[in-house]
Amino acid sequence: MMETLFDRMMRHLMRKGTLFITYPEGNTRQYGDGTGAPVRVTIHDRATVRALAMNPELGLGESYMNGSFTIEDDDLYGLLTMAITNIASGHETRWQKGLNHTRNALRWLAQKNPAGRARENVAHHYDLSGQLYDLFLDTDKQYSCAYFARPDMTLDEAQTAKKRHIANKLLIEPGMRVLDIGCGWGGMGLTLARDYGAKVVGVTLSEEQHKIANARARAEGLEDRCEFRLMDYRDVDETFDRIVSVGMFEHVGVPHYREYFRQVREKLSEDGVALIHTIGRTCPPGHTNPWITKYIFPGGYCPSMSEAVQAIEKEDLYTCDIEVWRLHYAETLRHWHDRFMANRDRVAALYDERFCRMWRFYLVACELTFRLNDQCVFQFQLAPKQENVPLTRDYLYGDDVSPAKTTPARHAAE
């Protein structure tokens, strides 16, 4: 019964490519139009067939993690490329569409993110061993989209370019007070203090990130310019010249969007500028993949532009600039995946094989969603007054701000 249901679902969904599935009883069926390199998978028990039929978005990731669903030559890229391409073509079954409608209807409840729950959600992902992130991130521990100004950039070069681009958008000057909402391991804040002369307050809910960020500030002798606090951004009570938030808005939750931008407005001086960098979706509002919610980012959600802008415009902020980065995150994730796989044995020693399969599924699925489906990155440049930002983008790309000619404010003052 369940195998028949799953077979019908697969025939409806898989219109492109060539997929062979071997079922627990040993029979093999072919799906797709016969084009492209074939992908061969084996389902090892009936419980997995049921899980895939009833909730394919959750079941696929869980089955791969648990080893009850295996791919010949571990061709995860091939399988997920085929799956995402067909899903993006809109061939979901009525059952899947109904399930997605239900998730969309319940997303406000799922994304309710008061301070206590926000702290738990952050700990789930960001309080993993710091050694794990050292194995696949760049040397500055930037866990967000890099900016590939040139296609031949290394990951470290692209992450440096990202920070420079953001700093230019913030129009940083020496002595400015900057609030970094969701400061991570401190890389952005330390860059703004060290290279641009800013005085930075960074906030995070991750104990691991808080500890490492402060240790880095002490090691670089930047304690007088960088203060990293273990606290919710909603509890900050000072006013700042600049506000930056990179990769944190995805954790805010739709019910809190207006609250978030109200906090940005209240904490920003009248002459201030804010830069909000977030993963977004190019499609209408939706829901987070249930596997990602359960195993990777509980409470996380990537907004459509309409959702974010609707909240911004109600909080007395000018949207001075919106920039859309398309394939930059796909390239970033490919670098992370390759580094992760090069250190897979060390990750397994920290955790186990199941964790390695989970993390690889996460990295590959996210890369291909950026590359083949509906995800991108938005950068919102905001200000209380439209005169706070130049009228053109020349200040971002002129020779005076090119990587070779930029003089860090700290050195300029010396």
Catalytic residue among 145, 183, 320, 366: 366
Question: How many Å apart are CA 29 and CA 40, to the nearest integer?
Answer: 10
Q: Which pair of structure tokens corresponds to residue 155?
A: 């990951």
How far is residue 49 from each of residues 3, 6, 7, 56, 200, measured CA to CA in Å? 6, 7, 10, 10, 52
Residue 407 has φ and ψ, to the nearest 5°, of -105, 115
**Is 366 assigned a catalytic role?**
yes
| Residue pair 231/207 in contact by the 8 Å Cβ criterion | no
Question: Buried (b) or exposed (e) across 281-316, using 16+ Cβ within 10 A?
Answer: beeeebbbbbbbbebbbbbbbbbbbebbeebbeebe
Kind of pairing, strands 39-43 and 28-32?
unpaired
Compute the CA torsion angle 77, 79, 83, 84 (nearest 10 deg).
0
| Residue pair 344/287 in contact by the 8 Å Cβ criterion | no
Q: Which pair of structure tokens corresponds to residue 69?
A: 């669903």
Q: Which residues are marked as active site?
A: 366
